[in-house]
Structure 1
Amino acid sequence: MSVRKLKGQPATTTHSKVKFFYPILFGIIIPSIAVVFNFEFNSGFPKPPNFPKNISLELSNFVNWADEVIANDVWTVYPKSAEEIVILINWAKDYNYTVRASGAMHSWSPLTVNLDKNSAYCKKYILAPLSCYSFRKIPPKIILVKTQRFLNNMQVINADPGDASFWAEPGVMLEDLLKILESRKLGFSNHPAVGGITLGGALAVAGHGTGVPAENETLSPGHTFGSLSNLIMAFTAIVYDDFSGKYTLKEFQRSDVVSGAFLAHLGKTIVTNVTMRAGPLQHLRCQSFIDISAEELFGQIEGLRTISKFLNTSGRIEVIWFPFTANPWLKVWTVEETKPGASTYVSSPYNYPFTDRFPQALASLLGNLISHWNNAKTINRLYTKFIPLGLTVSTSWDIWGPSRNVFSYIRPTTLKMTEAGWAIVTSRGHVEKVLRIFYQIYTRKLENFSTRNSYPINGPLCLRVTGVDNPADVRVDNAQTCGICPGSPVLGRPELDTVIWFNILTFRSNIQVSRFVSEIQNSLDEVFDESFAVLRVEWSKGFAYSSSHDFPWTNDSFLKKNIPKSWTQWESTRKILNSFDPFQSISQGQQPCFEVILEDSEGNLRNKKVDWGKDTSRNKFTVMMTIMSKAHELLQEEKTITRRDLYYENVNLYGDQSQVDKAIQELAVFLEVEPSALPFVPSAKGLMAAGGNLKLTRDVGKSEPVSVQLDKTGTLIQRFGVIKKWGKFRSNAKFVLIVEKDAIFYRLTEEDIFNRFEPFILVTGKGYPDKATRAFVSKLSRDLKIPSFVLVDADPYGLEIASIYKWGSVAQQKFPHENLSLNDLAWIREAEALRKLNFKTEIEAVASLGWAYLCNEYLYNKIVSRVSNCSMVF
């Protein structure tokens, strides 16, 4: 194994230089600052154990397009073949590592690495990266697989325009692929505007361009109005093979029943090559318009230049609209096989250079300045004024050329913004209705926030329109529909044939951005109720915004409910992908929207998985199944068993008592019942005592009440299941005194405390109380209508125990606990005194003054004066 030390990437702070530059913006000279880092990786990190030989390993950083999802010091490999990846994944299975494919990192959502809340969004201001890299951690158990260096081959299989196809590996860059296809007179009818992405990355999220059929336009063979994923004919993926017990390469055809799940897999598998369709090369004309108002374009007012009408005449449009400006930048692409006289011929892509050279440092600075500045409207209008100037200088108002030269315009140096994205699937006839509704929601929210002097959106709204992913386009018999592509057809709704893509851009995510976008998101979800449109998310962008977090992917309800319901094949896709990666060697720790959710015993949502490659995971599953089987047996026989006896039935399996208790708690959550409904009862723990002739009487249905003479030396409190069935208590006791420790309990009985006070009941839970003790004292308080007092150590543990008696335990919050608490319990100035003392005090410290003092003075002052008709007996 070889480990290479990389230089020149921001990882550990060693040296930095500060340079000043003066970018020119709208004729105004504005000084700004750029920080140039010279960092080295820490080569002292422990290497993964027994890493496969002949596969080079190095540390690198994962930084996404918007510099917001960051993972420092991640182990990275550059495999030379698909077979090397197979070796790597089988090693990962044995050593509990996860292998993730990584492309050009031109994405927003955390589909490759998990979102680290401590660092992912710390780059909100221009110099904040210094704090992002200040904490060094051991690399996560993740291996990034970079495919661009070696797995970047492609070849045209058939160049016949009526039956064209090609084969490619995932690391080939889209711009290189398009160039090779163009050399063979082939291409795509639409594709993403960014060329610096890998083909594998684009297919993982169903990358798309813009385009629907114009009036009288016929789709050429090999083309699609859907996403690039819809052109996949066959592919090879790394999947687990049950027969061999290993991960291996497997070829799939588009006609295979399970193939649709892989067409937008979101990183839950690794595809090592694809065979795809291509169509005859198209030449396009792209015209820019900035003289059409947003009101007219979105159909708010009568006009001839609406988006719907441009779609009818040309089929391909894009809208870029800055907030608080009147006229968007509209691009219209039209298929023109010969160059129009007014157009400028372009021989290469990226023909809007004025969008590529906006200094990122200045962009970040401006974004933070105008987020809470009422001059945001003026700044955005300046942006809009900059567009016609750039179009004029670059002579790109009207350009014509091969499709890749006209469609591709986003470089890696293009202004980087964070981006929220939705795909709205509707019918062609309802496009204008959807656009009107979105316009009204968007502009209303902008105005509402501006009245509060808040301007969270300081980037444009972008809009594109495509067709759905029609599997017939790929011209393969029995071709499967894409499972969860944003543009996959809605089953049973053939009239929903169009997808409108909305993206909201801004410089940096913050709480105001999240609140704004979450309001948009909630309004869209409410309006597009599937009657005429279906709301979906765009996988590579920001989604599931919450008003209480300053970044996306945090709205649990949206992740767990809204997203799955928007795809009819969601569940089948999830099951298929999980079945081919049963050890989660590729998708362990994946994004939250794609996991099986189970609530834990504290009521928190968490993932429950069984990883047969891990001893601990197998053991937990076996424990759960054993206890479930025992519960079934006992419930049928109407018997119970103590949790302690259950543990001793199989000590080797359970390990210790806590594992049994935890498994019972999780089983109760899984079955959605209280733990007391299961036949596993805690051993008796709590004690109760009373002196004199005090009796405790309880009703027993229609029978005579049962009276118990309480022993002053201590009686075990019966288990919770029995107490639940008891009738109402009756007694002449004046109060209940609960003590923390059994040692104090016994000492008080020895000191003859029952002869010092009028009748009362003494209870101890022997430390942290069990449910039976808590249920007993709660029932005493409710039935007898007498006060309760708790005597505990004046330290954090004592305060916690007192809190459990009053409110119940955290572990039981998911279940009804009204009958397990003493809500009327109140502090008698102890907390305030403890704060003043600034040190803890145990009960024994008071007893050092003499047990007579504890009983005659301390308890007397605390209790007798607060209990009516109660006096001390001398």
Structure 2
Amino acid sequence: MRSLDRRTFLTGSAAAAAGLLLFAGFESPAHADEVLTGYPGSIPLRRARFENWDGAIVADQLWTAVPRNATDVVALVNWAHSAGYTIRPQGHRHTWSPLTVAPGTAGNKKVLLVDTTSKLTAMSMADAETVRVQAGASMEKLLRFIESNGRSLTAAPAPGDVTVGGVLAVGGHGTAIPSLDELGKPGTIWGSMSNLVSSLTAVVWDAKSGSYVERTFDRTDTDCAAFLTHLGRAFITEVTLKTVPAYMLRCQNFTNIPISELFAKPDKVTNRSLSKLIDASGRVGVIWYAFTDKPWVQVWTRSANKPFTSRRTLGPFNYLFADNLPTPVPQLLGNLVEGHAEVAPAFNAAVALATSTGLDVTFARDMWGPASHFLHFVKPTTLRVTAGSHVIVTRRSEVQAVVHEFTSHYTAMLDDYRRRGMFPINSGVEIRVTGVDSAMEYGPNADAPALSAATAVPGHPEWDTAIWLDTLTLPDTPHQSEFYRELERTYFVEFPAERGVVRAEWAKRWGHTNDGAWLDTDTLRTRIPASYPKWDSAVETLARWDPHRIFTTELLDQLMP
């Protein structure tokens, strides 16, 4: 993992003034016939630098193909099979875990990145309720397209610069469960994005022809469940997704609820405690800056008519202050980057104040508009932090207890590290709550996404809720790996089995040792597989459709040998 210096953080244009990170993939044209024997020369090829969201995964000058259509993808996969290469779909690289490539992958390694974002972006309405979209389309453009057709999604990841294929590969999600007023109403899917897929098209091995071909899997196909969240162990070219009628949301932002009330013990809840906010609105997100006592709480409520006090929105990304944080935030951020970890409490206090002030001066405390204006609120210029995240699938009635226990444990750990002069966490915690993934909307022969972190647990229909707990810090912060390792083992591993199931959030950091993430072999080989009821069958299905392991990485080879 590379170190980030102050110049990397603080140079640039407006983002530099806010102390934000901007990364770009440096590219150079390539002549395939000079190096790649037999490469289908009509398909554009270049050398490109790969860098992920937090800058921790960097691979310089990898061969990167730019297919013009799905036929090109099939040609690339078959060339890779004959040439001994692996194929890695590449979207906007808004990820943390090395599911695309490993850090430091050499340019001479037999890996071909396939950029899906240039041409594989078509979308159309398959019918009145379903959208057909290629894997390289961005979520932002997808939401705008379906909104223009009178449709929307119940929830979606906060960034707009993520591809549909990338989101589905890791079981991406937003934050939403039914409010008490919405309980029992049919037609809405409350889990991850993967559970919206009604059919998908993948490039798979065909034994009869002795080649890779495109094949479409309907949701009722026995093998479809393994592809719905495939972690990059497959190449999906197109999907059809279920949508819902377009709707309006009221977005309220609070920075005055103390953690003692928001994360209160279940027997001490008030109307401003997390579980009560969820009961009232169903859609709640929490951003809690470390060492502060009043989180930023976002509450989205369905509202057909604009409330009198709400400001109407004109588009998505309504938190302008998040990209223009005022003094002293950039200076404190610079101190953190230079190694002054002890300024973390002051940094977070400054960010919390800037958030509260920003909400006021931009009139963003109370807004109203189409759902798509609020589903996306993280821009590429937002401060880039690393993220360790786990998911607890449990009863809805356990939400308040689980969050109280987690936040209490996390606070005690922060205090313990601070007493020892260490500040491994200098950003904060994000909390989101969704439903679980099931196939109820698809009929008796369908199945839930087998490898989605939100997939339902057979035999436990009462475990109907997924709580996503995301701990954030700047990349390469001293002692972060020790903190993440301890948090995993003292809270998530010890979570009582009778209360629910704990899983890793695929796109983030997990499986920590003191040396870093994704290194704990016990987690990779035992704990993760044990948390999925259909792990073995899903791994076998993906291997059967890709017996030559064209779609794999070092991490996937450990996780799915």
TM-score range, shorter chain: over 0.9
- Cα deviation for residue 148 of structure 1 reads 1.4
Is contact 1:156–1:167 with CA below 8 Å preserved after alignment?
yes
Match of 1:58 in 2: 46
Query: Quick one: which of 124, 141, 144 aligns to 1:176?
Result: 141
**Percentage of pairs with the same residue:** 33
**Alignment partner of 1:355 is 2:322:** yes
Per mean C-alpha deviation after superposition, the further-off stretch among 226-235 and 44-53 is 44-53
- Cα deviation for residue 366 of structure 1 reads 3.6
- Cα deviation for residue 381 of structure 1 reads 1.3
SS of the residue 2:543 aligns to? helix
Is contact 1:317–1:332 with CA below 8 Å preserved after alignment?
yes
Distance 1:442 1:81, change over 3 A: same
Match of 2:108 in 1: 139
Distance 1:398 1:203, change over 3 A: same
SS of the residue 1:527 aligns to? coil
- Cα deviation for residue 376 of structure 1 reads 2.7
Query: Quick one: which of 402, 412, 415 aligns to 1:444?
Result: 412
Residues 500-522 of structure 1, C-alpha deviations (whole Å, 9 max, x = no match): 00111111134500111111110
Query: Quick one: which of 363, 367, 370 aligns to 2:336?
Result: 367
* Cα distance between partner residues in 2 of 1:513 and 1:57: 38
Residue type of the partner of 1:431?
A: V
Distance 1:18 1:276, change over 3 A: closer
Residue type of the partner of 1:530?
A: A
SS of the residue 2:253 aligns to? strand
Match of 1:48 in 2: 36
Residue type of the partner of 1:91?
A: W
**Alignment partner of 1:109 is 2:109:** no
Residues 688-711 of structure 1, C-alpha deviations (whole Å, 9 max, x = no match): xxxxxxxxxxxxxxxxxxxxxxxx
Residue type of the partner of 2:452?
A: C
Structure 2 matches for 1:136-175, cutoff 5 A?
A: 138-159=107-128, 164-175=129-140
Is contact 2:74–2:213 with CA below 8 Å preserved after alignment?
yes
- Cα deviation for residue 468 of structure 1 reads 0.1
Structure 2 matches for 1:420-569, cutoff 5 A?
A: 420-473=388-441, 475-547=442-514, 549=515, 551-569=516-534
Match of 2:544 in 1: 579
* Cα distance between partner residues in 1 of 2:331 and 2:445: 52
**Alignment partner of 1:413 is 2:378:** no
Structure 2 matches for 1:788-827, cutoff 5 A?
A: none
Structure 2 matches for 1:262-273, cutoff 5 A?
A: 262-273=227-238
Match of 1:225 in 2: 190
**Unmatched 5+ stretches in structure 2:** 1-6
* Cα distance between partner residues in 2 of 1:33 and 1:390: 17
**Alignment partner of 1:281 is 2:240:** no
Is contact 2:21–2:382 with CA below 8 Å preserved after alignment?
no
Match of 2:301 in 1: 334
* Cα distance between partner residues in 1 of 2:272 and 2:348: 23
- Cα deviation for residue 219 of structure 1 reads 6.4
Q: TM-score, normalised by structure 2?
A: 0.92
- Cα deviation for residue 555 of structure 1 reads 1.3
SS of the residue 1:591 aligns to? helix
Match of 2:213 in 1: 248
Is contact 1:357–1:414 with CA below 8 Å preserved after alignment?
no
Quick one: higher RCO (CA 8 Å, sep 6+), 1 or 2? 2
Query: Quick one: which of 296, 302, 325 aligns to 2:261?
Result: 296
Distance 1:354 1:112, change over 3 A: same
* Cα distance between partner residues in 1 of 2:61 and 2:148: 40
* Cα distance between partner residues in 2 of 1:333 and 1:254: 31
* Cα distance between partner residues in 2 of 1:321 and 1:576: 40
* Cα distance between partner residues in 2 of 1:246 and 1:185: 41
SS of the residue 2:35 aligns to? coil
Residues 715-761 of structure 1, C-alpha deviations (whole Å, 9 max, x = no match): xxxxxxxxxxxxxxxxxxxxxxxxxxxxxxxxxxxxxxxxxxxxxxx
* Cα distance between partner residues in 1 of 2:480 and 2:340: 9
Residue type of the partner of 2:301?
A: T
Match of 1:325 in 2: 292
- Cα deviation for residue 40 of structure 1 reads 7.2
SS of the residue 1:177 aligns to? helix
Residues 452-491 of structure 1, C-alpha deviations (whole Å, 9 max, x = no match): 1111100020000000012113x34522111010100011
**Alignment partner of 1:194 is 2:140:** no
- Cα deviation for residue 530 of structure 1 reads 1.7
* Cα distance between partner residues in 2 of 1:537 and 1:267: 16
* Cα distance between partner residues in 1 of 2:424 and 2:252: 31
- Cα deviation for residue 444 of structure 1 reads 0.7
Match of 1:685 in 2: none
Structure 2 matches for 1:196-211, cutoff 5 A?
A: 196-211=161-176
- Cα deviation for residue 370 of structure 1 reads 6.6
Distance 1:361 1:89, change over 3 A: farther
Distance 1:188 1:219, change over 3 A: farther
Residue type of the partner of 2:528?
A: I
Distance 1:448 1:170, change over 3 A: same
**Alignment partner of 1:75 is 2:57:** no
* Cα distance between partner residues in 2 of 1:197 and 1:262: 19
Match of 2:280 in 1: 313
Residue type of the partner of 1:557?
A: D
Is contact 1:56–1:77 with CA below 8 Å preserved after alignment?
yes
* Cα distance between partner residues in 2 of 1:17 and 1:392: 31
Residue type of the partner of 2:44?
A: S
SS of the residue 2:181 aligns to? coil
* Cα distance between partner residues in 2 of 1:480 and 1:567: 14
* Cα distance between partner residues in 2 of 1:23 and 1:198: 26
Match of 2:81 in 1: 93
Distance 1:302 1:467, change over 3 A: closer
- Cα deviation for residue 241 of structure 1 reads 0.8
* Count of residue pairs brought into register by the alignment: 550
* Cα distance between partner residues in 2 of 1:372 and 1:150: 44
Residues 51-89 of structure 1, C-alpha deviations (whole Å, 9 max, x = no match): 113112111111101111111111111111111111111
* Cα distance between partner residues in 1 of 2:24 and 2:438: 48
* Cα distance between partner residues in 2 of 1:507 and 1:586: 31
Structure 2 matches for 1:643-722, cutoff 5 A?
A: none
Match of 2:222 in 1: 257
Residues 147-187 of structure 1, C-alpha deviations (whole Å, 9 max, x = no match): 1111100101222xxxx111111111111111111111100
SS of the residue 1:158 aligns to? coil
Is contact 1:292–1:305 with CA below 8 Å preserved after alignment?
yes
SS of the residue 1:327 aligns to? coil
Match of 2:367 in 1: 399
Distance 1:44 1:264, change over 3 A: closer
SS of the residue 1:466 aligns to? strand
Is contact 2:289–2:352 with CA below 8 Å preserved after alignment?
yes
Match of 1:765 in 2: none
Q: TM-score, normalised by structure 1?
A: 0.60
- Cα deviation for residue 435 of structure 1 reads 1.1
* Cα distance between partner residues in 2 of 1:180 and 1:589: 37
Aligned-pair Cα RMSD in Å? 2.8
Distance 1:97 1:20, change over 3 A: closer
Match of 1:239 in 2: 204
Residue type of the partner of 1:47?
A: V
Larger radius of gyration: 1
Is contact 1:367–1:506 with CA below 8 Å preserved after alignment?
no
Residue type of the partner of 2:108?
A: P
* Cα distance between partner residues in 2 of 1:432 and 1:552: 29
